[in-house]
Amino acid sequence: MAHITANIRLHAHSLLPGALPRRILAAFSVARQRRRLAELDDAMLRDIGLSRAAARAEARRPLWDVPSNWLR
């Protein structure tokens, strides 16, 4: 699994009403997904094509380190 870094810039659409709640919800979603990924056993990780090291690396990424298209 490739490590995706996001270069997040302040865009005009991020100033629209509701942008902050969407970002907060996205952060909670990212945290939940990464926590669940870290909980998968080796057989499940093999099923989705990930090594334990790749899953651990993804789970350790900070909340704000997400693909920019997740924040639209």
- 10-68 pLDDT tens trace: 454 555 667 888 888 888 889 999 999 999 999 999 999 999 999 999 999 988 787 77
Choose between 2 and 42: higher pLDDT: 42
User: What pLDDT is stored for residue 16 in this prediction?
Assistant: 61
pTM, two decimal places: 0.64
CA dihedral angle for residue 59, residue 54, residue 38, residue 20, rounded to 10 degrees: 30
| Secondary structure (3-state) at 54 | helix
- Residue 46 and residue 44: Cα distance in Å, rounded? 5
